[in-house]
Every structure is written in C-alpha cells, then in structure tokens.
Structure 1
C-alpha cells in the first residue's frame, strides 16, 4: 500500500511516500524550485501543492499518481470551517464559512483564500500539476475516499513518535500554530497517539519567537535559528519582561500576554542596522525564558504520563539549545526529536498516521535512524552532466583519502554525495566541509556563505570518538542538541566552539554514511582530530543544493576551493582537462534528463 504525505500549509512545503509503513522517499519543494521554504514572492504561493517533490517520490517508487492508495494532507480545514461541511462538494460550502469558525484565530484577510486552497487541494492534485510534470500526473484521478485531512499537530506528533525507536513515549509538539492548537501533549503506544492536552491560539511560544525574530530585523518563519545563535552573546536584562509575557498555568497550560514589543524593547531593528548589546540581550532573555517554560511543560508531562521516553516535533523542537536543556534535565531517560521538526515533517507524520489507520497496523515497521531520503545521482549521471556542460574534472582514486588531504590543507570543500537530506540540516550528503583546527575558519565560512559574522558553525564527529571531545556526547545523528566542548580539546577545534563553549554536534558511524565516516577517519589519521566543520551546501537566501547542476553553480559562484561530487574532484585554479574526458561525441545535445532547472510556472 502506498501513502503519499503532503504539506502545503504555511511554509516548508514537502512530500513523502510510505510503502507498507516504510518511508521510501521524502523531500522539500524548495530543493526543486529554489524558493526557500517554498515561498514565492506572492501571498498565496505557499499553499500550492509540492508537485516537484511529489513527482520525485513517485519516481523513486516508479509509479503514477493513480497507483497511490491514500493521500494524507497535514492540515484539517474542517476544524475551522465546521464538521457539517466534511464530505460535501466544494461548491456546497458557503464562501463566508471559509473565513473560519474561530475568528480569534483568523485575523488575516488572506485566510478565506488560504482555507479555500486547502478545501480544493484534492482537485488541484488531479488538475493543477505543471505541464512539464505530466508523465506521473496526467490522468490523475484521486477520489474523495483516498484523500485524508490530518490535524496539523497530530501530523507533527506522528512524525516524532511513529519514527522513533520507542514503543511508548510522551509526545510534545510546539510550533507557531496549527488549525487551533499551538502546543499538544500525547501518549504514544505502538502506532496509537492519545491526546491528553493542548494549548490553543492565540497563545503560542512559536509565534512569540517569530515576533521577536521580526523585531530583531530577521525574517520570521525562516530566521529563528539566527536568534538562537545571537542569544549566546547577551545577558538577562529582559528576562523579567518575558516572564511577564509567558504565564505558566496548571496542566501544561500557558498564556502569552501583553506583546507590545516596541513599548518593552524599543523600536524594531532595521534589516541592515548593526547589532548591539541591546539586541543580544533581547535574544538571550527570550531564549532563557523559552527554556524555562519548556522545562516546566516537560516536567508536567513526565509526571502526567509516567513514561521514560519523550518525543518532540514542531518548529520549536529545532531549537537545539532548548533540546539540550530538556535532555540534560534528566526528566526523561531518552529524548528523540524529529529531524524534520518543521512543517516539512508533517508530510511524513500525516502519511505514517494514515498508513497505520488504513492497514490497521499496531506493529511499528520503521525507525528513522538517518535523514537521507532525497534525490541522488550516480557517478555515470554526474559525469554525463559534467561532459555536457564542458566542466573540467578529475576522477579520484580514493575519495576519502584525497579529500581529507585537501581539508588538512585548510581548503573549503563542497561535498555532494548520495541521497539528499530531508529536513533543514545538511548531514553529510549536501554539505560544505572544512577543518576546525584554524581559529579563522568560522569567519572564512561565514564569508563564503555571506552569513552574519555572529553565526557559529557546527561539527561532525566520529561517533566512536564523540565522548572524548564533547561532554556527555552520545548518538546524535541529526544535529539537534548542543554539547560542551571538552576543556582539554577546546584549543584544538576552536572554529566549532561557540562563544558559550558549546557546539551543535552531529555524530556519524559507518552504517549511517560510510563515505562520510571514511572521510572523518582519513582526516583523523592526518591531524589527530576526528572532527570536521559541517555546514549546509548553499549560500545566503538559497535552499540547500539538490542536483549536480545546483552544486556546480553554487561552487562557481562562491569562494570555496574544491567540489567533491560523487567520485569526482573539481578545483578552482587547477587545469584538470588532461585528466578529464570532455568529448561530447555521442551525447545528446540537450541537458541530461533530471538536470534541467525546475520550470516554475
């Protein structure tokens, strides 16, 4: 049985495909269209279905859209319109009902159009696909009985629990908003989720964090991680203000009150205004109170459920500093966070939730122990493209050893391998890599990526060596927690040590990603350091690269030194033509299939 999961709500449009309870493909739409977070420069674009991501998932399974048994959409509009309209045809739903059944939750003039797009999503899937994707969509005929709306926070919860290694767990989801809920608490057992509490709009930790993100001159629903990074430079000047704004109550409840930010914190920072201590202190105080609040909520959840395991998802669960506070509090024995905790992960959660229902399965068939679910390209495909575009290159005899040698020389490397990661983190297949040994490397990488100078860079470490370099380091393949750099190692890896002494680590073992693990071992043999800098293969405002074309274009428009793409090396300031077969004899005079830039209509 095939179940297609879709997120096309708010941001991070994405798709995934489940086959009999097992994830086989997942990707964000932004990787194909190059519009970051799936947002085109028009208000309604976010709600368009992720046709390119859906097409990729169908391609992996080698099926047509009509071969899909069920489609799970990670938002339920009838929670706002009213249950009396569920199952009725679109034309029977009065337009005025699309303004929403809960006016306190819907204040935006675009809300009727937003809800209308969701109610019409099945028809859009059948009729609205782009012309250039006809192969897997033409004749689409998904019927009402195959289409399932899943509550947004149920999709978040299933993305955490149904992917975790636990048979039972407490599940907490915290984000900006769903239909009505902003925070939910569930007990997970087997394949079932039982809701035991929720916090509703307008009270939202995620929306408050978004508002402060905007107040500090960043893009909301995009740059919240920058506020988290900025926080480590500040002090507690505004902790009292945030404690007044976030009022904790009994039973996991809270309210957000008195959000007059300009009155409390002064005027909003302009986009290109210099940062100062005032901005640092706002970010720091927000982060402190967010962590305090989450610890109170998880303490209540532990007491209420009595279970030892905690699963988390929702955009706030991407706050790795807060995650580490929860882990280190020891309230729960084990903490598992969905690597695609943002709205992209709701496509996965919705699909798993509907798959379990439709197959009536109580047995867990899938554990998400890596994030490599996106497109990949073989050496033959990569080489064919490089020949077609007359790109000089050299085939490497030993990818790990020769790349480690370049990294030991302080070269900055684009690293393009295997299947693209699902979620916001590059985890060793679409990464920029560098040595952490030079103190200047963090600044060099921020310049290469055109990032703010306060932004830290993160380390990847051999799993078997992690505890020797970072305090209390354990299995951590998704870069979702921070650890302190061990005092005796801080001077050896200064580039990855943030100003507060922490680092957001990724551990890797050979089963997860052999070539990546081999590279770290080769670097360790040369330098005595089993750590590399790993940052995402993109530049400011751009999604992580997807295709070889994306990788080569990013490489040549950015000041890093070399690109390792599959088994091939591309270097700047190096004549590689003698080592590369650039003859185009017998090649088609068009872009090889799958490498053209996405057509965005």
Structure 2
C-alpha cells in the first residue's frame, strides 16, 4: 500500500516512509534487526546523507571558469535557464537525489522539463521532481506538511511551475529546511529572492543506469557529454565557458 493511500485513509496520525526503499534500506533494516536480537536495542542514529564522500581528483580545466561559490551567482545562472550539477558533502543513501547529488534547474518552462529528460536520456513524458522551501510548500503544492524524502504525490497549485507539473497536474515535491540541508536551503532562498519562487527542478546526478556521481573527473565527463552548463562542488562553482554566466 502506498504512502499516499495510507495518508488519505487517516488510519494513523502519521506514516513514515523511509527514503531508501531499495537494497540499501534492506541492508540497514537487516543490521537493525540483528542489533535488536543481540542487544535488545533497535534504535539507530542515521541520516539520509550518509553515503560516500565526493572525491575531488584532478580534472582537465580546459574550457572551465572556476568561481568561489556565491549562491546569488548560481541562482542567477539558474534563472537564466542554465542547468547546473549540484554536489555537497556525502551522497544520499537510497535511490533519490535529495540535494547532495542533484541536477538543478529553474521550474518555469516546459522546455526545461524536456531538456532535463534529454540530459537524463529518459522518455519525454517522465516527470521532474520539484524541491521547495519547506516554509513555502503550501503556496505551490497541495501539501501542508514537510516531505523531505519525496514519497508523496500532490496537486500543483502554482501554474507557473510548468517544468515540474506532470500531465495529471501533480508533482512529488521535496521540502527543504535550513536544518535539513543548509546549502540547498540557501540556494533556494537566493533563487526565491530573484524569482519570487523558492522552488527548483531536482533530478539525480548520475550516468544512465548507475549510482550517483562521486568523483570530480566523472562529473566533468558527464557535464560535457550530457550538456550541463556547469556544476557546483561544495564551495566552488565550475562554469563551462561555452555557457555564458547569467548577470
């Protein structure tokens, strides 16, 4: 039974749907079950951003401008229809990009939706998920609660968000708070200051059929092959020179 179905029946006051419902989650669950068996304790501390660290190996800097990370600069690039790879800290566990290994873009244009699916080598009808400031989510989506792991579908209320609105009028939004993911929160805040909307397109940063990109040289190879305009790695913004920076 889906999380959406459980929530609509209101059988429980709340339903937790884990973000790593694949082999990663199975391994964690098995380990917790063994810990409970041997110690009687089934409580663990975990974080969805507990995957592998990013390797900053040597890259070919030909045709690249490197800028210190300025959130306003990246927000301007996004508002100028640039598509940006976004790397912060360790990668996510589980199959979903939740803001540490993401491809980000402005949410306003159907052309952006189509471009992202071309970059991802996916069918044109495939949906693109939005990421939204938690405090603003009810302004844009039929969602009145945090949803940091994007398990739930909801109606899109804001007609401007064409890039993240599926053909049935829904989206699967991720909400972001300052505490949950400070860098992504700051970027969304900067984008809202420039556009009036604290929402971005968010899809996973990975080669087709593989896991998250976790090495700078691989990221550059992907950016050039897939047609990204640039990428952020922690505190640096790498811009491909063929993609002029938005003012």
TM-score (norm 2): 0.91
Q: Distance in 1 between matches of 2:231 and 2:110?
A: 23
Aligned to 2:191: 523
By how many angstroms is 1:323 displaced?
A: 2.2
By how many angstroms is 1:524 displaced?
A: 0.3
Aligned to 1:360: 40
Aligned to 2:8: 328
Q: Retained in 2: the 8 A contact 1:417–1:565?
A: yes
Q: Retained in 1: the 8 A contact 2:65–2:240?
A: no
Gaps of 5+ in 1: 1-293, 295-321, 577-601
Residues 170-569 of structure 1: pairs in structure 2 closer than 5 A: 294=1, 322-361=2-41, 364-366=43-45, 368=46, 370-377=47-54, 382=56, 385-386=58-59, 389-390=60-61, 392-398=64-70, 400-486=71-157, 489=158, 491-569=159-237
By how many angstroms is 1:365 displaced?
A: 4.5
Q: Distance in 1 between matches of 2:243 and 2:153?
A: 42
By how many angstroms is 1:575 displaced?
A: 9.9
Q: Distance in 1 between matches of 2:170 and 2:243?
A: 41
CA RMSD of aligned residues (A): 2.0
By how many angstroms is 1:547 displaced?
A: 2.1
Report SS of the residue matched to 1:337.
coil
TM-score (norm 1): 0.39
Gaps of 5+ in 2: none
Report SS of the residue matched to 1:557.
helix
Q: Distance in 2 between matches of 1:325 and 1:519?
A: 33
Q: Retained in 2: the 8 A contact 1:393–1:568?
A: no
Q: Distance in 2 between matches of 1:352 and 1:365?
A: 7
By how many angstroms is 1:393 displaced?
A: 4.0
Residue deviations 1:358-416, cap 9 Å, x none?
Answer: 22336x343x5x41011224xxx63x623xx4454413252x22111100101011111
| Higher helix proportion (structure 1 or 2) | 1
By how many angstroms is 1:574 displaced?
A: 4.8
Aligned to 1:184: none
Q: Retained in 2: the 8 A contact 1:477–1:506?
A: yes
Q: Distance in 1 between matches of 2:142 and 2:6?
A: 16
Report SS of the residue matched to 2:38.
helix
Give the paired residue count. 243
Q: Retained in 2: the 8 A contact 1:473–1:483?
A: no
Report SS of the residue matched to 1:440.
helix
Q: Retained in 1: the 8 A contact 2:148–2:176?
A: yes
By how many angstroms is 1:561 displaced?
A: 0.9
Q: Retained in 1: the 8 A contact 2:32–2:44?
A: no
Greater Rg over alpha carbons, structure: 1
The 1:340–1:397 alpha-carbon spacing in structure 2 relative to 1, beyond 3 Å, is closer
The 1:460–1:514 alpha-carbon spacing in structure 2 relative to 1, beyond 3 Å, is same
Report SS of the residue matched to 1:532.
strand
Q: Which has the higher contact order (CA 8 A, sep 6+)?
A: 2
Q: Distance in 2 between matches of 1:376 and 1:401?
A: 26
Q: Where has structure 1 moved over 6 Å in runs of 4 or more? A: none
By how many angstroms is 1:352 displaced?
A: 1.2
The 1:355–1:472 alpha-carbon spacing in structure 2 relative to 1, beyond 3 Å, is same
Q: Retained in 1: the 8 A contact 2:107–2:200?
A: yes
Q: Distance in 2 between matches of 1:534 and 1:376?
A: 20
Report SS of the residue matched to 2:110.
coil
Residue deviations 1:491-545, cap 9 Å, x none?
Answer: 2111111111110110011111100000000000000011000000124323321
